[in-house]
């Protein structure tokens, strides 16, 4: 059975296929700015903290750049500093705190990104221990972070803090669609395919505001009701939901109505950086670099034809990261 999995993975290694799409010069600039020699990805706009999500992004970028040495440093630092006894990862590491990890709760998107990168790197660089590590993470996610519902399986954002007595709090940008496909090959359970379907259902049901776009967070009640969060910042379309089109396009899915909704929300780079989907309030400042990168991705993904991508700018960690990830997503041959 194990040999069968290895053969199947060998037939499907998308990250290796588009390594040339990440120019060496841009990767070197990104690495020098945001990754320490030890392998820690630094969020320069957030007091220099590191996140499991950022480590996963860094590993994916290093793999796409063909930089095995940096990939190994990223993985080693992640294991040493974030890995928990159950194989998942603490969500945040703060350099100015003692100890740097005070909250050992996980972040499910970070776990998914790390597992996805390990699975692809294990095949690309013939490292079966990375493949096994990815499988271990996938099984732990499946057995502890997925909940049944009338819409299909749902992905908890973390093991703690998002289950109330009568509802779940969900973040639709945690549905990393291309990762589900890779992890399903290592952990052959139908729930991975079903997660993809449930995510699309949720997106169809969470169209709010004049543009008809999903919020950063949504609440699903036991009786089936989907509502905006009662916390003002969480009911916005702001800085989390912007990753939804990234993962959709990366997996080859182009829901036309949803892409049109994002285009309505982002008619130009001067559009407001966030929208309150409850009362219509909006930011007094325009789209950030990260949002501009996602806007450009949406336009290209919707039209199915190339557009010039944003130049890499190094004054914004999140923006620089999403700029490079957008390039990878748009150059990956995928089928829905």
Per-residue pLDDT reduced to its tens digit, 180-228:
999 999 999 999 999 999 999 999 999 999 999 999 999 999 999 999 9
- At residue 21, the pLDDT reads 62
| CB count in 10 Å sphere of residue 5 | 15
b vs e for 179-213, b when ≥16 Cβ sit within 10 Å of the residue's Cβ? bbbbbbbbbeeebbeebbebbbebbeebebbebbb
Please determine, looking at this structure, whether the domain spanning 2-330 carries the CATH number 1.50.10.10. yes
Is residue 311 annotated as a catalytic residue, yes or no? no
- At residue 14, the pLDDT reads 52
Residue of 26, 67, 109, 111 with catalytic role: 109
List the structure tokens of 275. 């929208």
- At residue 22, the pLDDT reads 85
Is residue 223 annotated as a catalytic residue, yes or no? no
The answer to whether residues 229 and 217 touch, using CB atoms and an 8 Å cutoff, is: yes
Q: CA–CA separation, 240 vs 227, rounded Å?
A: 17
Q: What is the pTM of this model?
A: 0.93
- At residue 309, the pLDDT reads 78
Residue of 26, 28, 38, 53 with catalytic role: 53
| Residue ranges in the chain modelled with pLDDT below 50 | 1-13, 18-20, 335-336
- At residue 168, the pLDDT reads 96
- At residue 111, the pLDDT reads 98
Close Cβ partners of 142 (under 8 Å, ≥ 6 residues apart): 187, 189, 191, 192
The residue behind tokens 């588009």 is 18
Burial of residue 35 (CB within 10 Å: 0-12, 13-18, 19+) is buried
- At residue 10, the pLDDT reads 36
The model's pLDDT over 67-110, given as tens digits with 9 standing for 90+, comes to 999 999 999 999 999 999 999 999 999 999 999 999 999 999 99
**Polymer length of the chain:** 336
Residue 175 to residues 138, 155, 290, 291: CA-CA distances in angstroms? 14, 7, 19, 18
For the chain, give every domain's residue range.
2-330
């Amino acid at each position: 059975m194990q040999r069968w999995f290895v053969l199947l993975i060998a037939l499907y290694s998308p990250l290796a296929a588009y390594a040339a799409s990440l120019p060496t010069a841009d990767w070197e600039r990104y690495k020098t700015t945001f990754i320490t020699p030890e392998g820690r990805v630094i969020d320069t706009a957030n007091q220099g903290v590191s996140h499991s999500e950022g480590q996963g992004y860094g590993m994916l970028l290093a793999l796409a750049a063909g930089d095995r040495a940096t990939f190994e440093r990223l993985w080693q630092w992640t294991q040493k500093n974030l890995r928990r006894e159950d194989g998942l990862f603490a969500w945040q590491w703060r350099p100015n705190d003692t100890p740097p990890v005070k909250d050992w709760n996980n972040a499910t998107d970070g776990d998914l990104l790390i597992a996805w990168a390990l699975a692809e790197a294990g095949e690309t660089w013939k490292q079966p221990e990375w493949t096994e590590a990815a499988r271990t993470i996938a099984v732990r996610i499946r057995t502890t972070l997925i909940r049944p519902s009338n819409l299909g399986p749902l992905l908890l954002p973390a093991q703690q803090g998002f289950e109330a007595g009568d509802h779940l709090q969900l973040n639709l940008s945690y549905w990393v669609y291309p990762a589900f496909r890779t992890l399903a090959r290592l952990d052959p359970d139908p729930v991975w395919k079903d997660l993809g379907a449930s995510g699309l259902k949720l997106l169809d049901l969470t169209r709010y505001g004049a543009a008809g776009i999903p919020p950063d967070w949504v609440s699903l009640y036991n009786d089936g009701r989907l509502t905006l969060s009662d916390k003002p910042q969480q009911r916005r379309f702001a800085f989390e939901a912007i990753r939804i089109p990234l993962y959709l396009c990366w997996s080859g899915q182009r829901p036309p109505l949803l892409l049109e909704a994002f285009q309505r929300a982002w008619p130009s780079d001067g559009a407001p950086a966030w929208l309150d989907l409850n009362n219509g309030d909006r930011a007094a400042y325009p789209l950030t670099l990260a949002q501009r990168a996602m806007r450009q991705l949406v336009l290209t993904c919707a039209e199915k034809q190339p557009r010039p991508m944003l130049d890499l700018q190094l004054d914004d960690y999140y923006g620089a990261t999403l700029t490079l990830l957008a390039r990878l997503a748009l150059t990956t041959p995928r089928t829905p």
